Amino acid sequence: MRFVRHFSLDEANRALREITPLLVRLREIHIAATRARERLDVLWKRLESGEPVLDDLTGVRAQIESLTREAAGLLRRLDEVGCILRDVEMGLVDFPAVVEGTEVFLCWRLGEEAIAYWHGTAEGFAGRKPLSALPGSRVH
């Protein structure tokens, strides 16, 4: 796997200031969109049973479209930063890095003060290890 950008630990930690509010908003959007989709399902059932809910359906669909557009913009911004969103609900993000010539991910999630974990590119969140376990000590 090759990435356009690799982060040093300092660069990734500095990027947290920018991406944290984006992740918080993405989480809010996810919650709102989930609720709106649930409401949409209820309205469809009501419409099928003959209730006059077409205006409500139109409003909820417009809300979902608006949330989708906003989320797409936030996801584009995260992509421009160069990090990889792994889980919206957890606010889990990976930053590609190179350690002793090998690509790894610096791993962070909302609520953590700074990046304190890493994992290999074939591992996921369950494979997180503390930075102290990073081979060598230099992240390029």
Among 71, 104, 105, 63, smallest CA distance to 88 is for 71
CA distance 34 to 36: 5
| Backbone φ/ψ region at 95: left (φ over 0), alpha (ψ -120 to 50), beta | beta
Instruction: Write the burial class of residue 15 (CB in 10 Å: 0-12 exposed, 13-18 middle, 19+ buried).
Output: buried
CA distance 13 to 112: 11
pLDDT at residue 68 in the model: 97
pLDDT at residue 140 in the model: 53
Task: Give the predicted TM-score (pTM) of the model.
Answer: 0.87
pLDDT truncated to tens, each residue of the chain (140 aa)? 567 789 999 999 999 999 999 999 999 999 999 999 999 999 999 899 988 888 999 999 999 999 999 999 999 999 999 999 999 999 999 999 998 888 999 999 999 999 999 999 999 888 999 998 887 656 65
pLDDT at residue 133 in the model: 85
CA distance 110 to 88: 10
pLDDT at residue 51 in the model: 86
Q: Looking at this protein, which amino acid is placed at residue 115?
A: I
pLDDT at residue 100 in the model: 87
Question: Which pair of tokens denotes residue 114?
Answer: 């700074």
